[in-house]
Structure 1
Amino acid sequence: MRLYRYGLQQNGITQFFPILRLPVPVNPQPQPVTYTDARNILQNLLNDLTEVKNTLEPIKDNKVKLPLRIGLTRMDFNANGKLEPNESFWKTLSLLTGIQATEKAAQTASS
């Protein structure tokens, strides 16, 4: 994840941007970030969201249901190539909202 690569730190500014409130671990050796790097991070996010929109937008049937176990979804926050237990959506949601959740509850809610 590029936010880890560049050493994202939580502060008064990042709290206003949901994508920047993600629990990115401290990178002991962050790379310097340039204006171009920052633009590329945002452009890649926009490209990914556009791809999702283009995939789902043609579906017009309101009765379509897509099973999505979002509570068990994981993001590689520390960019080590591994999806670790502490990188799950339900743990991230708990950290961001203060709502206490468990993996069992996440499995039940997303089934």
Structure 2
Amino acid sequence: MDLFRSLLFVPGNRQDMLAKAATLPADALVPDMEDSIPDKEKQHARQVIREGVKALAQQGQTVIPRINALNTGLAKEDLAAVVCAQVYGVTVGKIDSPWEIRQLCDLLDGLERQAD
């Protein structure tokens, strides 16, 4: 298991900031789709992150996108946009119960099977 000492959170709707973040010495980049993104920018953030993940991984970056909480109704679309071989993992803004972790695992399992 990798040890991450520094996580650099970057607004997912800002391609310029993702590109800049790739030049900084963080252990992992966390493109954010949650609090830093206004509702009207969520879809754009998904697109920017989806397009940027592969380029970031090719540069040797560890990428761990932050998705919206499951109870927002946005998490499934967030996951569908970012699940790919180049994503190390995902982080969720808020988890309120063990059931939500199980639901997240089920969503990830299904999306990963589709991505294979």
TM-score band (shorter)?
Answer: under 0.3
Bigger share in strand: 2
| TM-score calculated relative to the size of structure 1 | 0.23
Q: Taking CA–CA contacts closer than 8 Å with sequence separation of 6 or more, which of the two structures ends up with the larger relative contact order?
A: 1
Higher CA-based Rg: 1
